[in-house]
Structure 1
Amino acid sequence: MTRVAIIGAGISGLSVAYAIEQEAQAEGLEVSTVVLEKKERTGGKVLSIQEEGFLCEWGPNGFLDSKPMTLELCDKLGIRERLLRSDDNARKRFIYSGAELHRLPENGPSFLKSKLISWPGKVRLAGELLVPTATGDSDETLADFGRRRLGAEALDKLIAPMVSGIFAGDPETMSLKSCFPRIYQLEREYGGLLKAMAKMAKKKREERKAGKVVASAAGPGGVLTSFTGGIQELTDRTAAALAGEVRTGAGVVAIVKKADGFELKLADGGSVDAEIVVSAAPAHALAGMVEELDGGMSEILRAIPYAPMNVVCFGYEREKIARDLDGFGYLIPKKEGKSILGTLWDSSIFPNRAPAGKVLLRSMMGGATNPNAIALSEEEVKSRVMVDLKEIMGITVAPDFVRIFRHEQAIPQYTVGHARRLAALDERLAACPGLVFTGNSFYGVGLNDCVNASNQAAAKVLPLLRRK
């Protein structure tokens, strides 16, 4: 029986362990898995905290249903009926600009009416049709791409807030090719974004005319989906479904190559032997584990930076907030000079996130453009968020409920050169058969990305199992 050790019990580690077990069973292959997690719980950055009737997400608050991988995992786990789609009003998303919340336009007419982008900015956006197509395989920053194709105003008010909302990143350093590979491909395939949108819209119309079912756009790429008890239900149920062992409080400090596989040295002085090792640990942690195994590999992993983040949950009596909370929330361009990156109206997105008569707001502070925020005291964090909420939403009262969660290394940053680093990493892994990497450090930071990467990692493990 082949022993497979998985490092890390976040969604990536748990889902890759589950995929390996399921695929091995389908092929009649004997495998024994052990998941090693340094924390005393499973889930990684997925944690749903219920206190005083509020449900606060410590990390991600859901996944988009526009891609099949996480939904398929839910089907296999038998928890599809537990899924909770976000409220239809969550499609309403806002950008704070010029002391006003502007709803993000969803179509051409609403874009023309919107005051978010000035008329010169709108004309520049329309001029994207005339911008020459990029050639070659250049690794362009998101900022350079935005300025080149859409103009400086669109970069500041649309692209940069989106980048901070997804990656907590700085568009001046982030790689278009690695962060948004689909957009990179669309320019090369269609010659531009507006041309791509027009041709894809035509294709959808033709499919509808032919009687095919075409998904409608509901927010950016699908409907945000979670569970009644929070997104932690996904990791809890995945961990419970594993046939193998899950060991918490078992931090791996080193991966040692042996003739018949690997030895994983643990922080408590113990060790685990395995023929195959799959790491789902963050790049910064994995770098230390492989330092003696391959110094070059460790150096590549250390070159993947992480952005810090404070997640700030405020609960209020609904009657104390004058403005409507009919929507998802808002993002803030950096030029507005606010302390926070944006605020989600969590109790408007999903039901049961706040007690009756109360609301839950979740603000993000920090990121690559404001890394020093992680060092602020709790009182300073609370004070700065209150100042921003007063100016943006008119909230003049103190919150009745406050929880502040700190992530010193929250989200990996796919900076320029990321694709080149991954290619170099793959070359080194090819020289170390039986060692496989997955997780959000490499090919996507969302839950769908993590599950998809885990499925691909499991596909790399199966040929190794067949040879045993």
Structure 2
Amino acid sequence: MTRIAIIGGGISGLSTAFAIENRAKAQGRDVQTVLLEKKERLGGKIWSIKEQGYICEWGPNGFLDNKPMTLELCRQLGISDRLLRSNDNARKRFIYSEGLLHRLPENGPAFLKSKLISWPGKLRLACETVIPAKRDGEDETLAAFGRRRLGAEALDKLIAPMVSGIFAGDPETMSLKSCFPRIHELEREYGGLIRAMVLLAKKKKAEQKAGKVVSSAAGPGGVLTSFEGGIQDLAEGTAAALRGEVRTGAGVASITRKDGGFQLLLEDGSTLEAEVVVSAAPAHALSQMLRAGSPALAELLDQIPYAPMNVVCFGYQREKIERDLDGFGYLIPKKEGRGILGTLWDSSIFPNRAPQGQVLLRSMMGGATNPAAIDLSDAEVKSRVMADLKQIMGIAAEPDFVRIFRHERAIPQYTVGHGKRLLALDERLNEYPGLFVTGNAFFGVGLNDCVNSSNQIAERVLPQPQDQGR
């Protein structure tokens, strides 16, 4: 029997354990999985906190259905019938700029009518079609890419808010190739983004005419999907399906090689031996576990920074908010000088997120461009969020419900050179057969990315017999 230890009980660790167990069963292999989670609860950043009739998401609030990974996991778990697609309202997204909320245009005519980008900015965007493609393969920052292809105004009002919304990141340091690999590929393949959009639209139309099934994403990147009880249902459903051992309150202090496998020293002083170890812990946590025995690996992991974040949930009586809440919410460009990155209208995105007659707003504060926000007092966080909501949405009332969640290391930052760091990490891991890493620090920060990475790791941990030794 092969013992496989999985470190970390977030969705990456849970889905990895599930994928390994399923793969072992399909291959008729005898394995024993042991999942170790430092905290007393499973789920990691996934935590749907239910208080006073509100459902507040501590971390992510769902996944996009335009990729199959998480949908397939739900099917395997038998929880697909509990999936909850976001309201059509979620397709309406806004950017706050120059004192107004502007709906993010979804097509060409809407873009031309929008006042978000000035006419000089629109003309600069149109010039994208004549900008030479960068095909040298070198990485560049999102800011450099934005200025080069789309212009400074598009960078400030479109790209930068998107980067802060997804990664809580700074476009001046984030890697285009690692954060948005598809955009990087489109430029190399088609010579430009507008040209790629036109040619891909023609291709899609031709395929539809030929009777082929073509996927269609509603809204930006698909439909946001969760569960009626919150996204925590996904973590709980995965945990319930595991057949192996699950230990909570079991932090790992160190990992060392021993007799063709590994010895894990736990924080309570006990030890655990395993032939295979999969870490789904954050990069900084794994670094500490490897520092004594594998300093070179630890040094590489230390090069992946994390952005801090405050998540602030406010509940209001609906009648106290005069403006329309028909939408997903809004993001704020850094140049606007506001205290928050943006606000999601959670009770407009999914039903049952607030009691009858109430609304739930969830604001994000901090990120790579404002790391000091993590040190603000609760009173100051509340005051700054209230000031922004008053300025942007005209909300003068005190919230009836307030919850503040602090993440000192919220989201890993894929800074320039991230891809090369991953290659170096993979080379180092080759020196430690049986040790694997997964999680959102490496190949994508979204739930779909985490589940996909878990499936890939399971294939490497338990390759098909004919593939072994290749």
Confirm or deny a common fold (TM above 0.5): yes
Read off the aligned partner of 1:331 and give its amino acid letter: L
Is there any run of 5+ residues in structure 1 with no aligned partner, and where? none
Q: Partner residue of 1:433?
A: 433
Q: Once the 2 structures are TM-superposed, how far is the Cα of residue 265 of structure 1 from its aligned partner?
A: 0.5
CA 1:432–1:199 in 2, change beyond 3 Å: closer, same or farther?
same
**Aligned residue in 1 for 2:423:** 423
Q: Deviations over 1:105-158 (max 9, x none)?
A: 000000000000000000000100000010211110000000000000000000
Structure 2 residue 126 is matched with structure 1 residue 107? no
The alpha carbon displacement at 1:463 in A equals: 2.9
DSSP 3-state at the match of 1:340: coil
Give the structure 1 partner of residue 201 of structure 2. Answer: 201
Q: CA–CA distance in 2 between the matches of 1:161 and 1:465?
A: 47
Give distance in 1, aligned partners of 2:384 and 2:465.
54
**SS at 1:463 equivalent:** coil
**Equivalent residue number for residue 264 of structure 2:** 264
- Name 1:301's counterpart in structure 2: 301
CA positional deviation for 1:209: 1.4
User: C-alpha offsets along residues 152-211 of structure 1, whole Å, 9 cap, x if unaligned?
Assistant: 000000000000000000000000001001100110000000011001111111122122
Q: Which amino acid aligns with 2:371?
A: P
2:255 aligned partner, one-letter code? I
- Using the alignment, how far apart are the partners of 1:123 and 1:113 within structure 2? 13
Do residues 226 (structure 1) and 226 (structure 2) align? Answer: yes
* Root-mean-square deviation over aligned CA pairs: 1.1
**What is the percentage of aligned positions where both structures have the same residue?**
74
Q: Distance in 1 between matches of 2:276 and 2:185?
A: 35
1:23-172 superposed matches below 5 A? 23-172=23-172
CA contact (8 A) 1:102 1:116 kept: yes
1:382 alignment counterpart: 382
Check whether the contact 1:434–1:464 (CA below 8 A) recurs between aligned residues: no
Contact 1:90/1:327 (<8 A) preserved: yes
Give, in whole Å, the separation in 2 of the partners of 1:26 and 1:217: 33
Task: Give the whole-Å Cα distance in 2 for the aligned partners of 1:263 and 1:459.
Answer: 23
Asked if the contact 2:42–2:235 (Cα under 8 Å) also holds between the matched residues in 1, the reply is yes
Does the CA-based 8 Å contact 1:2-1:31 persist in structure 2? yes
Residues in 2 aligned to 1:392 and 1:323: alpha-carbon distance in whole angstroms? 10
The residue identity in structure 2 corresponding to 1:161 is: P
- Higher deviation after alignment, 455-464 or 2-11: 455-464
Give the partner amino acid of 2:269.
G
8 Å contact kept, 2:312–2:363: yes
Q: CA deviation at 1:220?
A: 1.5
> What letter corresponds to residue 253 of structure 1 in structure 2?
A
Partners of 1:99 and 1:112 in 2: CA distance = 20
Contact 2:102 2:116 in 1 (8 A): yes
Query: Per-residue deviation at 1:465?
Result: 8.8
Deviation at residue 464 of structure 1 after TM alignment: 9.2
Q: Is the 8 A contact 1:277 1:436 kept in 2?
A: yes
Deviation at 1:89, TM superposition (A): 1.3
CA distance in 1 between partners of 2:24 and 2:215 (Å)? 34
2:386 and 2:453 map into 1 onto residues whose CA distance is 39
Query: What TM-score, normalized to structure 1?
Result: 0.99
Instruction: Report the Cα distance in structure 2 between the residues aligned to 1:370 and 1:168, rounded to whole angstroms.
Output: 9
**C-alpha contact (below 8 Å) 2:66/2:217 kept by paired residues:** no
Contact between 2:297 and 2:425, CA under 8 Å: does it hold in 1?
yes
Q: Which secondary structure state, in structure 1, belongs to the residue aligned with residue 463 of structure 2?
A: helix
In 2, the alpha carbon distance for the partners of 1:330 and 1:21 equals 41
Say which SS state the counterpart of residue 462 (structure 2) adopts.
Answer: helix
Structure 1 residues 275-297: Cα deviation after superposition (integer angstroms, max 9, x where no partner): 00000000000001111221111
Alignment-mate amino acid for residue 382 of structure 1: K
Q: Distance in 2 between matches of 1:411 and 1:223?
A: 22
User: In structure 1, what is the equivalent of residue 237 of structure 2?
Assistant: 237
Number of matched pairs:
468
Deviation at 1:413, TM superposition (A): 0.2
Tell me which residue corresponds to 2:395: 395
TM-score of the aligned structures, taking structure 2 as reference length:
0.98
> Displacement of 1:271 after TM fit?
1.1
Aligned 8 A contact 1:96 1:102 in 2: yes
Does structure 1 conserve the Cα–Cα contact (< 8 Å) formed by 2:331 and 2:341?
A: yes
Cα deviation, residue 316, structure 1: 0.2
